[in-house]
């Protein structure tokens, strides 16, 4: 074992390895920045070009590149995008939010109800889709009732992130962890449901009793953009019932059978695409193809980087200094740091090859909860901020940090105590 990290980095790696490392570093710089300077590339474009570059440079065959992609994860992710699209086109999310808003609840009661609804829906459907559908409705609800929308919207994003950690289908990184490590859906749910529920309670307590927001509206002059309301799909009881039946059936299959989750979800998506009312092209238009490309590109880039041996050497070096990734404290620090540097999906992809099944629960919870720390920490946060900006409400990173920092620290501390 060499005594320092620079020593092993300098030894035994041909120029081709360093070229792959350069591509890998450029791709993950793009993950951090959200693109590359002076180029019209987003994260998906950076990952895709990085994959093409390592294939061309390393001589990797297309077949080898395809084998580097975890197909069950891609299939599961695609299938649940179709399920979520069905629910959105059926107007389910907006109808549920409006129903909650119509209840005779106080500000704190309404906040609690929205946190529960956002968390519960995100555990079954995509947290990003939940935020996309609920944000405009929550904003209008707050303005109509004279509440400051800021804590409600940030609370919506935080609750969606926390709630999505409850299951192995709540967000993309959990789907990846469950697929690669072959985790039991029911066993994971039993272990995760209590800390997730307590974390949602802690979020509500901070929003109600924390110093960051007065109960009165501070955006009384804010008027929602007229076009946004027209984009809300009308409620369709039949399409909603169809989507709920498929989602409920899939949950039962995941909980009580050992059938492959990816195949079961794909069959469920196929059932939803068989429709006389919703055109398949309309449903497929709600599939996040960019995210699927991001996954595929990162799988290939990470596979090429793993082939250099540098990642394994770095992990061995850490272990030689008493820092084992399987240790909850080390994984917490590394997972939270990486998740806020490059986002939680790329962070999970980097860490997964060096972890066993026992670390799956910790990685899923740590990486997902870490998304609440910064505004750029998760796509759900950015979706809420972008939609609020369209309606004239600016959510700055400082405003998010005043809620996200204490909530993230509190929920991670709770997780630490729970897992110990």
pLDDT band at residue 228 using 50, 70 and 90 as cut-offs: very low
The H-or-E segment that residue 374 falls in is: none
What domain count does the chain have?
1
Domain that holds residue 274: 16-419
This prediction has a pTM of 0.87
CA distance 173 to 343: 10
Query: Residue 10: inside a domain, yes or no?
Result: no
How is residue 109 written in tokens? 């009661």
1 located within any domain = no
Nearest to 379 by CA among 27, 43, 39: 43
**408 neighbors 373 (Cβ within 8 angstroms):** yes
Q: What is the pLDDT of residues 44-62, one digit of tens each?
A: 999 999 999 999 988 889 9
2, part of any domain: no
What digits encode the pLDDT tens for the residues 231-274?
A: 667 888 999 999 999 999 999 999 999 999 999 999 999 999 99
Q: What does the pLDDT average to over 4-12?
A: 48
**Helix (H/G/I), strand (E/B), else coil: 376:** helix
Tell me, yes or no, whether 211 lies in a domain: yes
Contact indicator for 27, 46 with CB cutoff of 8 Å: yes
pLDDT score of 207: 94
Does a structural domain hold residue 306? yes
In whole angstroms, give the CA distance from residue 237 to residue 363: 38
The 8-class DSSP code of residue 357 comes to G
Query: At which residue do the structure tokens 């050992």 appear?
Result: 258
Q: Is 5 within a domain?
A: no
């Amino acid at each position: 074992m060499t005594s320092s990290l620079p020593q092993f980095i300098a030894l035994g790696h041909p120029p081709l390895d360093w070229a792959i490392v350069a591509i890998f570093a450029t791709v993950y710089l793009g993950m951090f920045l959200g693109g590359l300077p002076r180029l019209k590339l987003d994260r998906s474009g950076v990952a895709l070009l990085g994959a093409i570059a390592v294939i061309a440079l390393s001589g990797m065959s297309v077949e080898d590149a395809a084998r580097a992609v975890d197909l069950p994860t891609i299939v599961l992710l695609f299938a649940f995008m179709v399920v979520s699209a069905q629910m959105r086109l059926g107007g389910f999310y907006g109808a549920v939010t409006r129903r909650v808003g119509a209840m005779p609840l106080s500000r704190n009661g309404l906040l609690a109800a929205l946190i529960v609804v956002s968390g519960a829906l995100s555990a079954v459907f995509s947290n990003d889709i939940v935020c996309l559908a609920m944000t405009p409705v929550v904003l209008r609800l707050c303005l109509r009732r004279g509440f400051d929308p800021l804590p409600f919207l940030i609370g919506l994003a935080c609750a969606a992130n926390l709630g999505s950690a409850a299951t192995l289908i709540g967000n993309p990184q959990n789907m990846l962890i469950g697929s690669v490590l072959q985790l039991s859906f029911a066993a994971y749910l039993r272990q995760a449901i209590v800390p997730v529920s307590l974390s949602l309670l802690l979020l509500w307590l901070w929003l109600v009793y924390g110093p960051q927001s007065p109960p009165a509206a501070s955006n009384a002059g804010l008027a929602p953009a007229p076009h946004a309301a027209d984009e809300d799909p009308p409620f369709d009881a039949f399409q909603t019932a169809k989507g709920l039946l498929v989602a409920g059936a899939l949950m039962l299959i995941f909980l009580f059978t050992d059938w492959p989750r990816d195949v079961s979800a794909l069959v469920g998506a196929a059932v939803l695409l068989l429709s006389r009312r919703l055109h398949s092209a309309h449903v497929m238009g709600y599939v996040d193809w960019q995210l699927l490309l991001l996954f595929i590109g990162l799988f290939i880039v990470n596979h090429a980087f793993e082939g250099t041996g540098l990642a394994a050497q770095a992990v061995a070096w850490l272990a030689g200094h008493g820092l084992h990734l399987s240790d909850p404290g080390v994984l917490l620090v590394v997972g939270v740091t990486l998740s806020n540097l490059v986002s939680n999906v790329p962070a999970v992809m980097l860490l997964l090859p060096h972890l066993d099944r026992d670390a799956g629960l910790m990685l899923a919870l740590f990486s997902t909860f870490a998304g609440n720390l910064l505004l750029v920490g998760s796509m759900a946060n950015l979706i809420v901020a972008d939609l609020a900006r369209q309606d004239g409400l600016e959510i700055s990173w400082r405003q998010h940090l005043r809620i996200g920092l204490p909530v993230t620290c509190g929920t991670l501390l709770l997780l630490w105590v729970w897992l110990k």
